[in-house]
Structure formats: C-alpha cells, structure tokens
Chains A and B, each alone.
Chain A
Amino acid sequence: MTMLRVRDVTVRFGGIVALDNVSLDLNRGEILGLIGPNGAGKTTMFNCISGVIRPDGGSMYFDTHALTYAPPHVRARLGIARTFQNLQLWGSMTVEENLMTPMDALGRRNTFSDALYLPFSAYAERASIERARAILHVLDLTPYRRTKAGDLPAGIQRRVEIARALAMRPRLLLLDEPAAGLDAQETARLGELLRAVRERFHVSMLLVDHDMSLVMRVCDYVYVLDFGKMLAKGQPASIRNDPKVIAAYLGEESKKLAEDVETVAATRRDELPLLQVDDLAAGYGGLEVIRDVDLMVRPGEVVACIGANGAGKTTTLRAISGMIHPRAGRITFAGKKIAGASPEGIARLGLIHIPEGRGLFPTISVEDTLRLVSNTAGVEVDISAAFELFPRLRERGHQLVGTLSGGEQQMVALARAILSRPRLVMIDEMSQGLAPTVVRQLFEIIRVFREQGIAVLLVEQFVESALDVADRAYVFEHGTIGLSGSAAELRSDRKLVAGSYLGTAVDEAPMARANGNGNGHRIDPSLLELMSVRVPAKLKRALEQRAETEGRGAGALAVELLGKVDEQ
C-alpha cells in the first residue's frame, strides 16, 4: 500500500531547476533508495518531504494527508522523521536530551507545568527517559548517554541522528547519507541496523546514499535522480546494470594501476624524506587523540592514512599543518622543524592542507578563489593552468563556490592547492559525500599530482581507491599507527590489516557483536595482541625499517620477534 505519494514536484532556486516534475511512491514497510550524482536534487527532495522548503509545483500526500502546505512540525507529528547529511544534532545537549526533545515535543507538554516541575511533567519526563534509554540500548549508544552530542566523533553522531529520528516513533524515516564518512565495516553494520530497525520499529524508509554497497544491500526498490529528473527506477539488481545509470552515476570500474605504483615506490626508497614526523602527540582540551605517531613522506610520494573513524587521522593532519598545536614530538618538513609553527608559515613552505569540508569560501567566485593564491604566494600566479587541469571549472569561473556541487568544490580546492606550487598536499576525506564517478575523477587527479612531483598525504575512507593510488599507507588504530607498509603489500596482506578496514565482504551480523570499544569496530585479534604490548616508538621505527628492508609487513615481523622472545 502506498504510504508516501509525491506527484510532479518541481523546485526552482533562482534560474536553476533543482527538481523537475519528479514523482515517487513509497509503500508501507519498504526501504526505498534514492541515488544520483551530486547536485541531482536528492537532498532537495528530502527537504520537500520534510517541509524545510516548499515546492514550486506538484503535490505530496502522506497516507490521506496532503503535505504540500504543512509546516515541518506538523509533518513530524504525522510520523515523518529525518536525519541530516550535514549533522544537525543539538550539540550542547547530551545524547539523551537529544532523544528526549522530539519525544516531548510531539507529546502534550506544557511550558509552565515543565518549569514548575508539576507531577504531570515529572511523570512524562520519566517516561521519556525510559524510552530514550531503550532506543540508545538498541543502537549501542548507551555509553554516550550523558556525553554532549557535539563532542562525539562524526560516525557516532550519525548513529545518534538515527536514534533521535527513531525517538519520534516515525512511520517514515528519511535518511540523508547515513553512511557518509563510515568505513566499509561500519557501513555494513549500518545496513544491518537499518534492516533491524525496520523489523523492530515497523518503519518505512527513504534512503539517500552514495555508498552503493549499502543501497544495493538494504533497498527494496531504487529511484535514480539526475539533474533534477527521474532517470530510472527499479529493483537494485536491474539498476546496477542499467546502462543509463552506469553512464550518469556509477561509472566504469576503475583500472588498477598497482604494478605501476610498485615501480614508482621502488625508485623512491633512497630519497631523503620530505616530511618526517616523530612521536607526535596532539589532542583537544582534556582529550589526547593521537600519541606516538611516526610517519614519513618522501618527495613525490603518495601516502594514504587509513583507519576507523576517530582513530586520529584528521587530528594528525591538523597537527602537521599547524591548525592545532602538537603536544609532543618533532615534525620536519623539507629540512625545517615545523612543530608548533603557525599554519600560514607552514603553508608558505609548500605544505598545503585541504581540510575535511574543503575549506573554501562559499561567497567568492571560482576565479577569485584561484586568484587569491597569488596573494598568499606573493607572486602573480597564472590561473589558466588550473583550468587546463579542470576544464569544467573554466565554464564555472564566475559562479560562486558555494553554488557548485560537492565534486566541483573539491576540484576548486585541488586546483587552488596545485596553483600554489606545493611540495606536499594533505587531503582529508576527499571523497566524502561524492558520487562514484566524481570520486574516480578526483583519484585520477591524485595521479596527476604525482606526475608533477607533488607528494600527497591522503586521509580516506574509501580504502580500496586510496590503496590503488598510493605508494605506501599507514593504518591508524586508537590514536596511533598500528601498521604501515607499501600499498600493494597492505592490499594483498589483508589479514594483517584489521578486518575492519579492507573487509568489503562482511560475514556476520555485526549488531550483536558490538564490542564496546568506542566505535564498535571489530579488530583483528592479532593486531589487538600487538597493540596491547605498547612498543616504544624507537623500537617500532626500527622494526618498521627492518620490515621495509626485508620487504615484509611490520606486524608480521613483530609477531615473529615476539614469538622468539617467548621461546627464550
């Protein structure tokens, strides 16, 4: 039976048609997928359904209710809940409070009775707390009950978003990119979770996500949007093979250049490191996020940092580029000590940091953004070089950066970086929230960087793509580096890298296996064993060097050496 009917909805922003006569039907109990390239209008569709924006034409019905003119809180009352792509938790409130707010907003509560703490309010309060705890328990969020939502890592915030939406007792749940920023293992867990939620809470869902593994696994039916128009609809299996969809969105499978990478890596072994980081520690406030981080990037080398959410990858980049002050350790870049130096000073040495979210100015045009490079570089820079690399940006030269799609914005960020003639570019989560085709293009750009002799330090959730393009990689685990090695080695030696990182094939139901170690990642036992012995940084470095000369993984070597000690 049709639960949500959307008929011929049109939305215009100025002259741009974001949605053009789009219709869709969602049946009760169904998980419906909505996919499409960046800027196709998926989030606009969500905003229409949840009432954040009003369509210029068309109509929407939820069961028997006409939605078109209902304000958002009325739709919430009808049972439509949503999560947000750019997390919209109430950051200064605890996780529990975040769940209780929609509960009592939808219940009949009274401001004066609340302020006076009358018996009615006290009773409703206790009932809300009970229900909030039950939901938190189901979603494995109980340990964070009293933590402020804003202090949590992004991956957990996404789970809290889902919990908060469930607190509304929704009948329809709109999920906007719930898997953004999650690694393969977490995404698999999320898929299980969504299916479990449907069974337990009897919720229908509309799911927008770029992670095809998630969409294909959980959705019953998939709609594909492209440039505001409905491109295709059908069962996941037929969508996957639809030539139109492949051309517009999924793209061809990327060619592996592993052998090529291997030779490049071999020739660079002897060069002096461009960036050398020893015993780095950093954190925020009372929290030490990373410690004993040692890493090194040689000139012209592409190095990937991979690992679970909250493992300290972003913090490491921030500490290197001077955005946060390192607490301990040495950082040498091009022969200069840069630990604790100002971010602009470090940038002037040729170390460019593209942060998560790209760090662009939304109200400045593309051309002006690129021209700003001349300003910081101190010499006139020819911006046409950037347009040769990114022809698409030439057409958009006069457009404001904020109006570009996510992929184009990332291109601007990369173009800006390359114009300043850097020696090392650090890119944080380049592919987050971008469509597969765009991601592929961006990874091609990384190869261009390498050809031009620019070293790249990459933080990436798409482990496979990252290892394809990288020479070497570091695996972060709980705030320090657990493993390192050549990309080819890590790709082939999957058992060494904890199952969570490369495990595209996930076997068991992860819901039941939440191990309470924070993010709920599953860690390879051998790695855990390794980590429980806190190896001094110097020893670890020696180990890694030896592993490198012997051409083996450091982890394997360590296990072997530890075994020898035991025998003695």
Chain B
Amino acid sequence: MTSTSKLMVRVALTLVAFTVLARIPAGFDVGFKFDAALAVIWAFGLLSLVLLTGYVGQISLCQATFAGVGAYGAGMMVSSFHADYLVAVVVGVAAAFALGVVVGLPALRLRGITLAIVTLGIALVFDRYVFQDHAFEWFTGGSGGWRVGEANVFGLRMDSSAHLMAAYVVLLALFCLVALLMVNLHDSGAGRRFRAIRDSELAAATMGVDLTRYKLLAFGLSAAIAGLGGAFYPLVAGSVSPQPFWLFTSLQFAAIAVLMGVRYVPAAALGGVFMAVVPDVLTRFGHGTFLGHQYDISYDWFSIAVGVLLIIQLIVLPDGVWGDIRNRVHHAWAAATAIGTRKVKVA
C-alpha cells in the first residue's frame, strides 16, 4: 500500500469514527453529555503521552498540569478579557506549549526515574503553589477556582449547560484531527526521528538528529496537545478549578496511558472514555441493593481498580489493552490470509 492510499484510509476511518462518536451522547442526560466532553478532554491528555512517551520515550508525570495551564489560560481570557473563545484556546495552548518547552529543558540531561521525579515535582508545584496558593489567588481564584459564565464562540453566546453537545462535537472534531496528525507523524520523517530518540539516543545524536531541538519540540507539542484539551474545560464545565488538574490526575494519565497502550493513538480515546465514564457510572450506580444485599462501590474504587487492572495488564497484555488486541487481530488476520500458502521462515 502506498503512503497516499494509506492516508486516504486513515482519513476515511477518522471520519467514520467522528460521525459515530458525535451521535452517541445525544440520547443521554446532561450528566453523561458532560462525561462525554470530559472524556475527550482526558483523551487529549492521554494523546499527549502517546507523543511524549509512546513516540519519543520520555517520561512525564505532569501532563495534567499542562492541561491545567491550558484551562486557566483560556478561562482567564474569557473571564477577564471577554475574548472570543477561539482566542482563549489559542492563548491556553500557547501557554501550555511554553511551559512544555521549559519542562523539556531538564529532560535534555535527565532520563528515566530522575526525569519522572522532576516532572512530578513540577506537577506538585503547580498543584499546590500556583493553582491553589493564596499568592496567586488574584489570578487563579485559589482552591475554589472561579465561574467562567458565558463565552462567545465566533460571536455566538454559548452557555455551558445549554450548549454542552455543541462543545462536545467541536472537541471531538479537534481530537479526531489531532489524532490523525499524530498517526501521520508516526510514519513520517519527523516521527522516525522521534522514535530514533526513544530507541537509542546515542545513535540518534550521531546520525544527525538534533536532540535538543527534538526533545524540546516533543515536550512543547505534547504540552500543547494536553493544553488544547484543557483549554476547553472552562467551556464544558463553566468553571475553572484546580481539582481536575491536580497531581493525582497526572499520575492517572500515566497509569491509564500504559494500561491502554502508550504507543497507540486510538488507545488514548479508549483511555479518555474509561477515565471519564467509569467513575461517573460508579458514583451513580455503585450503590443500591442487589439480590437483597446492600452494596456501595464509591468513586474511590476507581483508583484501586486502575491499579489492579494495571498489574493484570502488565502481565497479560504488556503492550497495553489496545496494543495487544490490535496485534492479536493482526496476527489472526495474517494467519487467516496465509492459509494454503507455505509459511516462509526468516533466518
């Protein structure tokens, strides 16, 4: 298959996915519509890890901070400057990109566990001392955040509760676009340079890959992707608050990205749905009576479930839920099409 026809197939698949996914939440109540929009925002966060960890092999435990910076940037533009939401998103993404490049600086020297600790520290600093601290309360609204109220998109007034569905569709369209670009990037020259850094930094540098440039670019782009999702949070939730972007969300991003398959773009979508919908389902239907027995499964169970699933997945599906299922389908397909033809052994 040539690259062009591959591209056409990808575009077609993305369009089909978009059309199907855009309709799903329509029949549900406002709560689920909110979940759906939140799922896309989280999916952006996971997608940012697909780029950073899956492609370039860098570890980051502060992806939610990038999303938070996007959210605060966009929210501020809307509340304080009454800017058009489009401008707000651009500002949020730009702020996240800038922070990403700054966070990328230590990654030029550090790798592995040390880099994880540094990024964890950055997440902690933003969580405790920027988003929640009194010193920045004039800007961040402190631990309670602030209500965004009404926003303008192309001059149209959008209210978070009334236009939730529209916000969801716009978000989903953007996600599909970025996801498509990411898949393209993987097979392209730039993607190869990124993957070369992942497989062997030493070889990459001596083969002409400018490590400084591509590592910073990777961190910046990754932060921008997370920030793009975050920038829509004020529109979806109608408010900005530190809680969704705290340290623990960053850790959840890392855990769920690995759980679903950190090297695969569709796994990010899967993970986003998992992250947004499962806790809500637990809080809604997690208590009641079943066959005469009282049961109560609260939101706390979600974290435990993620932990347990992660352990099971690392043993059973080492390439992630999406990755391994995909590989198995590929193998089965290859085996099915190869029936009758003799198996040729490679050296």
Contacts and interface: CB of A to CB of B under 8 A. Distances in A.
B217 interface: yes
A114 B193 CA distance: 11
Given A101-B196, A310-B347, A128 B189 contact: yes
A315 to B, nearest CB: 13
A158 to B, nearest CB: 14
A152 B346 CA distance: 9
A98 to B, nearest CB: 8
Given A101-B207, A106-B208, A125-B3, A156 B189 contact: no
Contacts of A125: 3, 188-189
Contact of B209 (A51, A105, A111, A156): A105
Interface string A40-65: 00000000001110000000000000
Contacts of B294: none
Interface in B175-189: 181-182, 184-185, 188-189
B208 A147 contact: no
Contacts, number: 129
A110 B217 CA distance: 12
Contact of A153 (B182, B193, B345, B347): B347
Contact of A115 (B185, B203, B210): B185
B202 interface: yes
Nearest to B7: A117
A539 interface: no
B206 A52 contact: yes
Interface string A491-514: 000000000000000000000000
B161 to A, nearest CB: 36
Contacts of B195: 90, 92-93, 97
B7 A90 contact: no
B307 interface: no
Contacts of A100: 189, 192
A518 B193 CA distance: 29
B345 A101 contact: no
Nearest to A106: B208
A75 B205 CA distance: 10
A111 B199 contact: no
Nearest to B207: A102
Interface residues of A, number: 52
Interface string A62-79: 000000000111011100
B228 to A, nearest CB: 15
Interface string B317-347: 0000000000000000000000000000111
A72 B193 contact: no
Contacts of B212: 71
Contacts of B199: 89-93
B189 A121 contact: yes
B90 interface: no
Contact of A52 (B182, B192, B205, B217): B205
Interface in B201-236: 202-212, 217
A114 B191 contact: yes
B289 interface: no
B92 to A, nearest CB: 20
A423 interface: no
A111 B192 contact: no
Q: How large is the interface on B (under 10, 10 to 19, 20 to 34, 35 or more residues)?
A: 20 to 34
A15 to B, nearest CB: 24
B207 A168 contact: yes
Contacts of B7: 117
Contacts of B205: 51-52, 71-73, 76
A89 B346 contact: no
A548 interface: no
B311 interface: no
Nearest to B10: A117
Contacts of B347: 152-153, 156, 310, 518-519
Contacts of A91: 199-200
A330 interface: no
B4 interface: yes
A122 B3 contact: yes
B9 interface: no
Contacts of A73: 205-206, 208-211
A104 interface: yes
B202 A105 contact: no
Given A77-B208, A90-B195, A104 B203 contact: no
A117 B209 contact: no
Contact of A105 (B4, B182, B188, B207): B207
A90 B196 contact: yes
Nearest to A84: B203
A81 B203 CA distance: 10
A111 B194 CA distance: 10
Contacts of A109: 189-190
Interface in A100-132: 100-102, 104-107, 109-111, 114-117, 121-122, 124-125, 128
Given A52-B202, A88-B202, A117-B184, A111 B207 contact: no
Q: Which 7 A-B pairs have the closest CB atoms?
A: A518-B347, A114-B188, A76-B208, A90-B199, A104-B189, A102-B207, A72-B205
22 contacts: A52-B205, A71-B210, A81-B206, A88-B203, A90-B195, A90-B196, A90-B204, A91-B200, A97-B192, A100-B192, A101-B189, A101-B196, A101-B209, A102-B209, A105-B193, A111-B190, A111-B217, A114-B189, A115-B190, A122-B3, A125-B189, A288-B345
Given A114-B190, A114-B191, 8 more contacts: A88-B200, A90-B203, A104-B192, A110-B190, A111-B217, A153-B347, A168-B207, A310-B347
